[in-house]
């Protein structure tokens, strides 16, 4: 419960002109990865990050029944996204 509250109450835009303005300040490359079953950080939040970062190339989605812990149980897909991103730099 505490983790969920912490995630939902954090506001990157607080004191920075709003979320969109705060994200727009970062102009470098960005990798946004989401887990489709994650209820703590839903896919819609990752889509908002992707739209906010000019250097993002779309949300990469890991399909997993294990939600937030998907990368622990099956790191292959996540590692592939990271490798692809590193190669593009």
Q: What digits encode the pLDDT tens for the residues 34-68?
A: 988 888 888 999 999 999 999 999 999 988 877 76
**Domains held by the chain: number:** 1
Residue 28: is it exposed, middle or buried by C-beta count within 10 angstroms (0-12/13-18/19+)? Answer: exposed
Report DSSP letters for 15-84, one per residue: TTT-HHHHHHT--SEEEEEEETT-SSS-HHHHHHHHHH-TEEEEEEEE--TTGGGHHHH-HHHHHHHHHH
Cα–Cα dist 28/81, whole Å: 17
Higher pLDDT, 30 or 2: 30
Tell me the residue range of the domain where 25 lies: 2-88
C-alpha span between 28 and 38 (Å, rounded): 26
């Amino acid at each position: 419960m505490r983790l969920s509250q912490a995630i939902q109450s954090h506001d990157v835009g607080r004191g920075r002109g709003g979320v969109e303005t705060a994200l727009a300040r970062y102009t470098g490359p960005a990798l946004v990865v989401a887990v489709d079953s994650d209820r703590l950080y839903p896919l819609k939040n990752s889509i908002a990050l992707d739209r906010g970062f000019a250097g993002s190339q779309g949300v990469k989605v890991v399909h997993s029944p294990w939600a937030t812990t998907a990368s622990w149980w099956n790191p292959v897909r996540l590692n592939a996204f990271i490798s692809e991103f590193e190669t593009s730099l």
